[in-house]
Amino acid sequence: MRTTLLLLLTACVASASPGGETMKSLLQEREQILVRIDDLMKERYKSGLCHWTETVSARLQLLEFRRDHAASLKEGIAFQKEIVALREEEYRVFQKSLEADPSLRLEAYRSQEAGLAAKCRLLEMESRVRGEKQ
């Protein structure tokens, strides 16, 4: 009797509280929305409706989400490498733009700093992988 009651109580609590499936479906929905935003920003940029930095921002949001919710650290590292590459590209664009418009210096510094932060995070992640192997 006690065991049956305990099992019923456990089943009720499990069904009443948000479980793994609910979280999984929410994460899937978030990723789908981020993909749609990324695609939309690419289309808007091609049509001249937004600045290139807005497309970078949308892409970074998607990559960071995927990195943070990756199934493994190695998978997360792959996304972080994409983030580093995108940050490097962003900085190169700002460097070229500085020649024509020196007022972009602050944006260039911010881009450079974000790139360095992304590289640091990549190195930290890679060192965790090496630590797991030992």
> What is the total count of domains within the chain?
2
Find the domain containing 29 and state its range: 22-69
Flag whether 129 is in a domain: yes
Contacting residues for 63 by C-beta, under 8 A, at least 6 apart:
79, 82, 83, 86
63 and 33: one domain? Answer: yes
68-71-39 Cα angle (round to 5): 60
Residues 40 and 83 in one domain: no
Query: Same structural domain for residues 117 and 85?
Result: yes
Helix axis angle, 73-100 relative to 105-133, nearest 10°? Answer: 160
Q: 13 versus 62: which is more confidently predicted?
A: 62
Residues 64, 49, single domain; the answer is yes
Task: For CA atoms 125, 127, 133, 134, give the dihedral sign.
Answer: negative
Mean pLDDT across 66-89? 97
For residue 16, being part of any structural domain is answered with: no
pLDDT tens digits along 1-55:
454 433 343 444 444 445 667 999 999 999 999 999 999 999 999 999 999 999 9
Q: Let me know if residue 12 belongs to a domain.
A: no
Specify the pLDDT at position 21.
79
Asked if 78 and 103 touch (Cβ cutoff 8 Å), the reply is no
Task: Quote the pLDDT of residue 132.
Answer: 76
- Over residues 119-132, the pLDDT tens digits come to 999 999 999 998 87
Question: Are both 127 and 75 inside the same structural domain?
Answer: yes
In a domain, 30, yes or no: yes
Report if residue 58 sits inside a domain: yes
